[in-house]
Chain A
Amino acid sequence: MIVNEQVAVDHGLKKDEYAKICELLKRTPNITELGIFSAMWNEHCSYKSSRLHLKKLPTKGKKVIQGPGENAGVIDIEDNDAIVFKIESHNHPSFIEPYQGAATGVGGIMRDVFTMGARPIANLNSIHFGSPQHKKTKNLLRGVVHGIGGYGNCMGVPTIAGQTSFDNSYNGNILVNAMTLGLVKKDKIFYSKAAGLNKPVIYVGSKTGRDGIHGASMASASFDEKIEEKKPTVQVGDPFTEKLLLEACLELMAGDSIIAIQDMGAAGLTSSSIEMASKGNLGIEINLNKVPCRETKMTPYEIMLSESQERMLIILENGKEEQAKKIFDKWNLDFAVIGKTTKSKKIELYFDEEKVADIPVNTLVENSPMYDRKWKKAKLPKKNKIKKENIKHLKIIDVLKKILANPNVCSKEWIWQQYDHTVMGDTIQKPGGDAGVVRVHGTDKAVAASVDSSAVYCWAHPLTGGKQVVCESFRNLISVGAKPIAITNCLNFGSPENEENMGEFVECVQGIGEASEYLKFPVVSGNVSFYNQTKDQGIKPTPAIGGVGLIKDYKNMITMDFKEVDNLVLVIGKTEGHIDQSLFARTVLDEKNGPPPEVNLFNEKNNGETLLKLIDNSLIKSAHDVSLGGIITAVAKMCIKGKKGINIKKPKYLINEIEYFFAEDQGRYIIEINKKDFKKVADILHKNAVHFDELGTINENELYINDKTKVTIDELSTSNKSWLTNYMSK
């Protein structure tokens, strides 16, 4: 096939990018080489629109062992233990083929983690769908949930937490972000940097097929009416083979024969070999005839661009091939020496004794395009004034029931019951709480993890929204008694070529950066997913933040269920009555404009750290952060979980009841304490200048407001639990 500008454009490259390739090579690339360039230079692999901005994120900290740039981030959790974690998107494939798209998303992120030598110990996910009324939503939701479960359950890794939301803006582009945490000894972490000359390059895992060719390019473009035709670009997952690959890799890693290891994810053999060569400043020579293939007559182009799953590339020490092969034989996996490292600093491919590609590695990596895209700064919208006549007829209990049954607030039990969340025998906080918690096997330590996003806030004001998501993650970890350590982010946006979408990206990243810097909650890994749009309709900006924290003694973990009748309930943090962009404003008042709640980083940090002090002093019986739906929603969920009621007395405030109960001001928590501890708690809060309200007292099974209105917890529970089950069974 003759390569020309049109062929390059068909590969998703821009005309000037093609010109640059010819200039770098000083010749016209052949088709295999063009395929390699298109795979390495697409948005998904090259981060060409985002790199400039991602550089500004804080990535260092005392507990950070490895920041962005490796397969996943690594943090120190003491005693020579470390946690490897990352979140990644699989949005485009999941929309085209929900089961396989979601399944291979989970498979891919687990591979990123065990590539570094860590055994996966927990999975999380953040999934976003279009309006429940949209004709595709139900099937997409079912497919994605089955896919996530199908893969994770078979691997035997518990899915411990997640987030699901519905919004019109995802009608044509759902989001599926998968996160994995793995446990590794600090001195047994594996990296992807090649080293040494003439070292054997080994291919292990599944055979290469024609699935997923151009998957990464597909994920770097918008959808149009022809997306169904892209089904063949979705990879097909085989969790059983991945389980074998996991066990075989960990067995090999127990020895000392591996120099570098890299999983074949997006752009398969192309990106894995090039990344290893690039990091090691070496060349790699591969004989493509040696690559185990599943199908006959595969061309070099297809072999290099296949995204078949469950494969790894390893650079071994010389002479260790036999010993390594034995392990892979035991697990019935392919093992092939396919090439060697060279000093050429080039990627050189041979097929049928002919050289089929010869590209300097730096042209693919360092010289890949980087764009300073134009972007538009967002204005902070004006505040709305709530009109009295719009709210005076509202009954708080009715509104509460409506909010508890809202698709974005309701119980997601229908989803997480389909995920094995208890395998491995260390899940001490299951899905449905503020964060999932797993013990570090055989120790007193536990790791908490949560995944959050607030697309509506980010859409209303990206800078504030970006900050808010990081704070929410911080709060969720603190609510279970964990000290927040670091985050991973999955940045889901529309087209970077659209100035408004690009502006949303730039300002969300800025917000994330500011908050994580202030909270000492650095970003250690992540992923960018652009082009989440259909024709010119983009999604709401949806950065998802995965936070990880440590609980030193798991017996001190906190849960959100109310524990005991007569205990006191307090609200930590000040309620200003911010209603704009709240769930109340959007669903009850039908008001979509206005600014999101303000984020005050000082209060956020101070309130959170003070709550941790209370927890350390064993003064907290239950805790829950206040988020969607405000104070009353948070309290109702604690009642439902604990099967207890509460007598609420609204504190004397300038704001009215609706504002007090439904506002979504930030930096707030609900806590339960024993009456006898009140003075101690109040002293600590006063000493740290933390505002608090006394909200009420726990009772048997009813929620009272100011002694007047009441509702049984059973009734609230039904509102909260039935929506999703009913929706899915219709």
Chain B
Amino acid sequence: MKSSVITFPGSNCDRDMDVALKKFGFKNKMVWHADAELPKSDLVVLPGGFSYGDYLRCGSMASKSKIMQSVINFANSGGMVMGICNGFQILVETGLVPGVLLRNKYLEFICKNVFVKINDKKNKYFKNVDNEVLEFHIAHNEGNYFCTNDQLKEIEDNNQIAINYCDESGKIEDQFNPNGSIKNIAGIFNKEKNVLGMMPHPERMIDTSLSGEDGSLFFKNLINNLK
């Protein structure tokens, strides 16, 4: 399986993603933001970080960068595109997934483990994951997902919510919402479910010595689903 990780000048989780993808068998290539062409890929990842500094709305400048036109075309033709954290913010800015990401409710950066409940398994990202609840890791300042009521209805009707913040047992309640996201949304798909944007970092959960191992589950499963 071939993957590509896009490196924007301020990306800082690109190496971590490269390590994770390779660990689970992807042949990964790093792609520079100023390039025009995507290499042939089965999966394209927009990693976490601060793409162009994000002094403007997070991800807004990155969404207009040269490589993104190819990424958008790739996604529109059904290609698998996954945006993690800043990558999710970029996806939102391109319109590939609906909604916006606001500043966290308590106006503070949050770095910690969280639990997320898988809402939909009829897609290549979460199909065949045995667990209903995964322990992931978040590290962001702008992860407060928001959308209009109409958008929300559409997202729910199409079953586009990928994961919700919850507790260890899968209970989705306000107290387990770290950033104020509407409906505890931690990740969503586009309509066709080939594009996934999520705030949690599975690449930080690939080793028992790190924050945990549920990221390993995710990647192992992902590569199998793509085969």
Measuring CB to CB, which residues of chain A are less than 8 angstroms from any residue of chain B?
A: 146, 149-150, 153-156, 238-241, 243-244, 247, 331-332, 416-428, 439, 554-555
Asked if residues A422 and B210 are in contact (CB atoms below 8 Å), the reply is yes
Given A156-B12, A240-B55, A420 and B109 touching (CB < 8 A)?
A: yes
Given contacts A155-B12, A331-B9, contact A417 B204 (CB under 8 A): no
Answer whether A554 and B209 are a contact pair too, CB < 8 Å, given A156-B12, A156-B13.
yes
Q: Are B10 and A425 in contact (CB under 8 A)?
A: no
With A155-B12, A239-B53 given, name 16 new contacts (CB 8 A). Answer: A154-B50, A154-B53, A156-B12, A156-B13, A240-B10, A240-B52, A243-B9, A243-B12, A243-B50, A417-B109, A417-B111, A422-B137, A422-B204, A423-B139, A425-B15, A555-B209
The answer to whether A153 touches B53, judged by C-beta atoms less than 8 angstroms apart, is no
A153/B139 contact (C-beta < 8 A), A238-B53, A417-B110, A419-B109 known: yes
Complex contacts, A426 vs chain B, CB 8 Å: 210
Determine the chain A residues whose CB is within 8 A of the CB of B10 once the complex forms.
Answer: 154, 240, 243-244
* Minimum C-beta distance from A412 to chain B (A): 13
The answer to whether B110 and A418 have CB atoms under 8 Å apart is: yes
Q: Is the CB of A425 within 8 A of B139?
A: no
Q: Is the CB of A418 within 8 A of B108?
A: yes
A423–B13 CB distance below 8 A: yes
A161 nearest CB across to chain B (Å) = 14
8 contacts between A and B (CB under 8 A): A146-B109, A156-B49, A238-B53, A240-B55, A417-B112, A420-B109, A422-B204, A425-B206
Q: Which residues of B contact A244 (CB under 8 A)?
A: 9-10
B217 interface contact, C-beta 8 A: no
B211 lies within 8 A of chain A by Cβ? yes
Residues of B close to A554: CB separation below 8 A: 209
B201: nearest chain-A partner, CB-CB: A422
Q: Are A149 and B139 in contact (CB under 8 A)?
A: no
C-alpha spacing A425/B211, complex, angstroms: 9
Q: How far is the CB of B153 from chain A (nearest CB, A)?
A: 34
Give the nearest-CB partner of A244 in chain B.
Answer: B9
Residue from A154, A156, A331, A417 whose CB has the most chain B CB atoms within 10 Å: A156
Q: B192: CB under 8 A from chain A?
A: no
A154's nearest neighbour on chain B, judged by CB, is B50
CB distance B210 to A427 under 8 Å? Answer: yes
B152 in contact (CB, < 8 A): no
Cross-interface CB contact of B50 among A240, A332, A422, cutoff 8 Å: A240
Please report the C-alpha to C-alpha distance between residue A248 and residue B209 in the assembled complex, in whole angstroms.
31
Chain B binding surface, main DSSP class: loop
Q: Is B203 close to A, CB under 8 A?
A: yes
* Given known contacts A423-B16, A428-B210, A240 and B53 CB-to-CB distance under 8 angstroms: yes
Which size class do B's interface residues fall under? 20 to 34
**Contact B111 A418, beta carbon cutoff 8 Å:** yes
For the A-B complex, the count of residue pairs with Cβ-Cβ distances under 8 Å equals 83
Chain B residues with Cβ below 8 Å from A240 are 9-10, 50, 52-55
**Shortest Cβ distance from residue A545 to the other chain B in the assembled complex, whole angstroms:** 26
User: In the bound complex, what is the Cα–Cα distance between A154 and B110 (angstroms)?
Assistant: 13
Q: Which of B120-159 contact A (CB under 8 A)?
A: 137, 139, 141
Whether B19 is near chain A, meaning CB under 8 Å from some CB there, is yes
Cα distance A425–B111 when bound, in Å?
13
The answer for the CA separation of A555 and B139 in the assembled complex, in Å, is 25
Contact residues in A for B111 (Cβ distance below 8 Å): 416-422
B139 and chain A: residue at smallest CB distance: A420
Chain B residues whose CB sits within 8 angstroms of the CB of A146 once the complex forms: 108-109
Interface string of B188-214 (1 = CB under 8 A from A): 000000000000010110110111000
Considering only residues 12-42 of chain B, those with a C-beta below 8 Å from chain A are: 12-13, 15-16, 19-20
A713 CB to nearest B CB, Å: 19
Chain A residue nearest in CB terms to B48? A423
Q: How far is the CA of A423 from the CA of B139 in the complex (A)?
A: 8
Please give the distance in Å from B59's CB to the nearest CB on chain A. 13
CA A126 to CA B50, docked complex, whole Å: 26
Contact partner, B19, options A153, A331, A425, A428, Cβ 8 Å: A425
